[in-house]
Structure 1
């Protein structure tokens, strides 16, 4: 039996190990992809530390990795639109027959491995000149903020926005808000490196969210009107409290960062009078990844600044530790099996 190396997480005791496993064989409508790059996400970290748990995983062990790009190695029966050698990115999840959303690397095996199995309809062709490391992070690291900006937040040109938390997703949100025509784009983060990165990615202003005059500065930058849209990519209660205070009329607070803590609106009357909204956001749809690849192909987007480090598959535990401890304030770390 052919084998391959894979980084597997035991959900019972949360241990991560790189080990030999059987190499999968594609069935009807399935494709085997030789993985060229796989992103390391905070969701992976939270799966390892117990902050997240799979909802639909069969068994107690899973190969991590929901951000994946590679080359088609083998096709199963009934595959018609994909050929061996095609360069592809993999959607971060799929719908099962019951309509449930299953996440790759969470509910079924992902791409922290030499090979990954995927349904044909979850593959997105990528341009020959797009490096695999950059293609891999488009599902989730880029598509999640893209969907938050364009769909949930429904950002329009010249709307005033603020992004709290300029890490892996927030940095891309800033870049994508620039593309969408938001103005001004304010970035908020206590980390100086993150603020400098936000400016490089297109923010008009980057503020320390722990500064005593932080809320006053947002009022000044929006000429007293408040924010049209506030994005929480940090998942921290204080961020949400700050955001609600500086929302303007019809302002929307989009919750992207995950937390189990409650959200409290201090002045419910003001919130209702100004007809403000709190909107939950999670992930993206398949069309979002396709749109982003098309924008890269058209020269509108460049993710070369997003790759903060590349590691071998055997170094997966080290990459997880670096991301968990924010060593070097990374945007995205990538595994190269």
Structure 2
């Protein structure tokens, strides 16, 4: 009789997400532990049906929707992205399946596409997303289910913390061991498996972060934050990388204080975000450095008090002149070149901080004057990104209050099919700010 009541509860729960069904059913079993074997038989059978062979899930439908989806695939360096059909990806415990609405076009993807950063291939690039929750994985924690019910609007961080490793337990999500050991090293999620399989062959395809340039993606729940209705899907996509990376650099690496003098070298998506955050943090002088006048003009919209074209004048000398000969309290390098690495170090005052954000060719080196570094107590700090659980909710609030101008930061919107062209334009330096691919 108890099992019959539990079965009725399960059938009702199946009207919602499968994760909610498992949660409701398992709670009912707590009242009568003798039914556990019945639950295991049901769950094992259900899992077998869902997994199929190699997690292909060929017959799976999301809320009676499509069994398949499209994604943009990188195959090998300097070859065009292709659009392929995939079996619907399946979330596992504490993971969320997202219907992707928008995905930003980032230089990190471009480094992979050009072969400058080694990464498992074939893979789906794209790591700066917004979307809608359509399912939660089996046996997902009840608090996650409550926080991200089906239908929620969300934004995803490119660093997707596991929430339980040594660094995550200390609040340092940006150093998550699982993220670097699995996603960045192998192109998988944290069980060592991808969630992406080609429809025609069942071949696995790897994931750069969540593999956001696809109609659906799977994201570990700790990498998500609810996106309020007041913020648009498209412009808000940049919160997950461009703004997120800038905030991590400004708040944690640079520890910017009101009244600080700041220089930002490289005014792309991340650099322009650094300018806006410097203004929000109360920096006194905000110096933008680039080689394109168009970018420098736009930098003033983002809060730059001074603009330097490094093609036309000595950037280090000009920064020293603006700051009365001392140099800035904090210089940030957001381009990823040996020349700008050197400029960044030389631009800071005695005791100042040079923060390196830009990624570059794998194995590239930056040079510093060791004696100057030692005698003048220069701090050179690397910063890869923010801390999803702490920082992403703060960025949402900054955007809601209008302190961070998302609309000005997104300079181009393009269709899903135009993603490859957007990366070509990014490579040629013709995108001022950030481009975002609309997938919805």
TM value normalised by structure 2: 0.71
Cα deviation code 1:219-254 (max 9, x no counterpart): 221112211111111212222222333321101111
- Counterpart in the other structure of 2:137: 76
Question: Are the structure 2 counterparts of residues 211 and 15 from structure 1 closer, same or farther at C-alpha, using a change threshold of 3 Å?
Answer: closer
The counterpart of 2:320, out of the listed 219, 235, 240, is 219
For structure 2, the 5+ residue unaligned runs are: 1-58, 60-66, 166-176, 188-205
**How far apart, CA to CA, are the structure 1 residues paired with 2:371 and 2:137?**
59
**How far apart, CA to CA, are the structure 2 residues paired with 1:13 and 1:209?**
29
Is 1:273–2:351 an aligned residue pair?
A: no
Is 1:295–2:398 an aligned residue pair?
A: yes
Is 1:86–2:152 an aligned residue pair?
A: yes
The farther-off stretch of 162-171 and 275-284 is: 275-284
The counterpart of 1:100, out of the listed 150, 174, 178, is 178
Conservation of the 8 A alpha-carbon contact between 1:62 and 1:106: yes
Question: Are the structure 2 counterparts of residues 270 and 24 from structure 1 closer, same or farther at C-alpha, using a change threshold of 3 Å?
Answer: closer
Q: What RMSD over aligned residues (CA atoms) do the two structures have, in Å?
A: 2.1
Conservation of the 8 A alpha-carbon contact between 1:11 and 1:53: no
Structure 1 residue 74, shift from structure 2 partner = 2.3
- Counterpart in the other structure of 2:228: 127
Is 1:194–2:260 an aligned residue pair?
A: no
Structure 1 residue 93, shift from structure 2 partner = 3.0
Is 1:336–2:433 an aligned residue pair?
A: no
Alignment of 1:233-252 (within 5 A): 233-252=334-353
Conservation of the 8 A alpha-carbon contact between 1:189 and 1:207: yes
Question: Are the structure 2 counterparts of residues 279 and 73 from structure 1 closer, same or farther at C-alpha, using a change threshold of 3 Å?
Answer: same
- Counterpart in the other structure of 2:68: 3
- Counterpart in the other structure of 1:203: 304
- Counterpart in the other structure of 2:425: 322
**How far apart, CA to CA, are the structure 1 residues paired with 2:318 and 2:78?**
46
Alignment of 1:24-173 (within 5 A): 24-54=89-119, 57=120, 60-79=121-140, 80-81=145-146, 82-95=148-161, 99-101=177-179, 102=183, 106-107=207-208, 109-173=210-274
Cα deviation code 1:65-95 (max 9, x no counterpart): 1101011122333342221111101121324
Q: How many residues align?
A: 331
Structure 1 residue 112, shift from structure 2 partner = 0.7
Higher-Rg structure is 2
Question: Are the structure 2 counterparts of residues 8 and 109 from structure 1 closer, same or farther at C-alpha, using a change threshold of 3 Å?
Answer: farther
TM value normalised by structure 1: 0.91
Structure 1 residue 35, shift from structure 2 partner = 0.8
Cα deviation code 1:297-334 (max 9, x no counterpart): 3332221111121222122211111211122x321111
Greater percentage in strand: 1
Conservation of the 8 A alpha-carbon contact between 1:252 and 1:276: yes
The counterpart of 2:281, out of the listed 180, 184, 189, is 180
For structure 1, the 5+ residue unaligned runs are: none
Alignment of 1:7-22 (within 5 A): 7-11=72-76, 15-22=80-87
**How far apart, CA to CA, are the structure 1 residues paired with 2:438 and 2:373?**
48
Greater percentage in helix: 2
